[in-house]
A and B are shown apart, each in its own frame.
Chain A
Amino acid sequence: AQRVTQPEKLLSVFKGAPVELKCNYSYSGSPELFWYVQYSRQRLQLLLRHISRESIKGFTADLNKGETSFHLKKPFAQEEDSAMYYCALTDQTGANNLFFGTGTRLTVIP
């Protein structure tokens, strides 16, 4: 069975400081991992996917199969980064089913 773990429920950093949101997963197959973000009063939306190896809003995430991790990083946090972040994994069935971690609420302190 698939599982996504985000060990930190809350994370606070100062503006301009580096930020890392941790995500670990367990999955018997070859995983596809994602980060979703929910800003205040907005919908949950895709931030980035590991397969694209992209940087979105300054965030990057590298899939580390050895450590089964997919941590989200940004070198310099901005106030507008404050949000709820969810790590997610798809089971790669035909249905695009996503399984989410418990989420981390990031607060960037001015």
Chain B
Amino acid sequence: DTAVSQTPKYLVTQMGNDKSIKCEQNLGHDTMYWYKQDSKKFLKIMFSYNNKELIINETVPNRFSPKSPDKAHLNLHINSLELGDSAVYFCASSQVGGHTGELFFGEGSRLTVL
């Protein structure tokens, strides 16, 4: 009974392609996030979604678009992939109003752009 699950775990693709990473949480949380971890292990927030509303977008190129069909899912769609998009992408969820700062993370999706 995985709490936060991401698919795929590994994704290798060519520059210019469009790809999606899916995320699902079964914790009943109302907020979900996407983080990017670069080659230096630096974790940077990309998006957070609360009740289907985007509430933060930290200087992320508009080639990246989060899509949330319901509050248990937050998918990440990337258009026109570039070499610099290669990274590990982590999905997370939390319950706003619960323990502040406690995020539950997925295992990560490693994207390699050739």
Residues of A within 8 A of B (CB): 32, 34, 43-46, 49, 51, 84, 86, 88, 90, 92-100, 102-103, 105
Q: In chain B, residues 98-112, which have Cβ atoms closer than 8 Å to a Cβ of chain A?
A: 99-108
B90's partner among A34, A44, A90, A97 (CB-CB below 8 A) is: A44
**Residues A95 and B48 in contact, CB atoms below 8 Å apart:** yes
User: Given A102-B40, A103-B41, does the pair A44, B101 have CB atoms closer than 8 Å?
Assistant: no
Residues of B in contact, count (CB < 8 Å): 27
**Residues B45 and A98 in contact, CB atoms below 8 Å apart:** yes
Please, how many angstroms separate the alpha-carbon atoms of A45 and B108 in the complex? 13
Interface of B is mostly: strand
**Residues A51 and B100 in contact, CB atoms below 8 Å apart:** yes
Chain A residues near B90: list those with CB within 8 A: 44
**Residues B41 and A94 in contact, CB atoms below 8 Å apart:** no
Chain B residues near A44: list those with CB within 8 A: 43, 90, 105
Chain B residues near A90: list those with CB within 8 A: 100-101
**Residues B100 and A96 in contact, CB atoms below 8 Å apart:** yes
